[in-house]
Amino acid sequence: MDIRTVGVVGAGQMGNGIAHVLALAGYDVRLNDVDAGALTRALDQIGRNIDRQVARGKVTPDDKAAALARIRTTRDLAEVGPCDLIIEAATEREDIKNRIFEGLAPHLAPHTILTSNTSSISITRLASRTDRPERFMGFHFMNPVPVMQLVELIRGIATDEATYAACLSVVERLGKTAASAEDFPAFIVNRILMPMINEAVYTLYEGVGNVRSIDMAMKLGTNHPMGPLELADFIGLDTCLAIMNVLHDGLADTKYRPCPLLVKYVEAGWLGRKSGRGFYDYRGDGDPVPTR
């Protein structure tokens, strides 16, 4: 099918990045959030991010103006329902995602494809709660969306080939690369990445190294661009914990047990960059300071 309009539900870090790349690629975007302030912040963030692309010569000022004109914000799910494709990009909680799809149900066009940007939750299970499991997929962008080239496409057990082909065509039009993943907990990227981050937290918890030494060891010893604890702060420690819980519950293997220190940081509200403090403290004017 020819996808022209795309609804994005959730205007946070992932949602505004997804709206950004869709609009630049020429799609008409309806960006939805329950919080009017989040929608305002999203448009401001998209504008600033495109300005960086203009400064680097990646896009022109006219491209920016055209992209911003293609994004329409709304707090009403009914305005998102008739889109050709909908990408749910809300927080990584299955109950919230299910409520969003239930809210969309009365307003969907017959041909609308539903997708979730979930990084770990079962696509088959999410799809089963809708009226169109054959037109439901996982559409998992990497963060930050405008920079990262990969998109995981995850078929549920009922996803049909036409739905997969339509979503693949969107990924290609965005200039990104698709990795096809099976519907198992955390898919490909987070199935590998999150246990590494969790092991880094265990290494800190057990006193093998401190925050700086662990991150330095992985950056200089394995040539990673960010250390695992720095990366966890960037992703959000609550998101890391949620994914580890999905792995632990879904695969029933003790090797996926979340580190107690990760749990403690989340209980404290130390969620990383977004809360100002995680494994590093970002509240000062200088470089972030390790919290352990």
Supply the residues annotated as catalytic.
Answer: 119, 140, 152, 190
Residue 134 buriedness (CB in 10 A; 0-12 / 13-18 / 19+):
middle
Note whether 200 and 218 are within 8 A (CB).
yes
- What's the farthest any 2 CA atoms get from each other in the chain? 56
Closest CA to 167 of 108, 84, 91, 100: 84
Query: CA 191, CA 202: separation in Å to the nearest integer?
Result: 17
Tell how far CA 94 is from the center of its chain.
14
In terms of Cα–Cα distance, which of 254, 271, 253 is closest to 263?
271
Tokens of 122: 């079962």
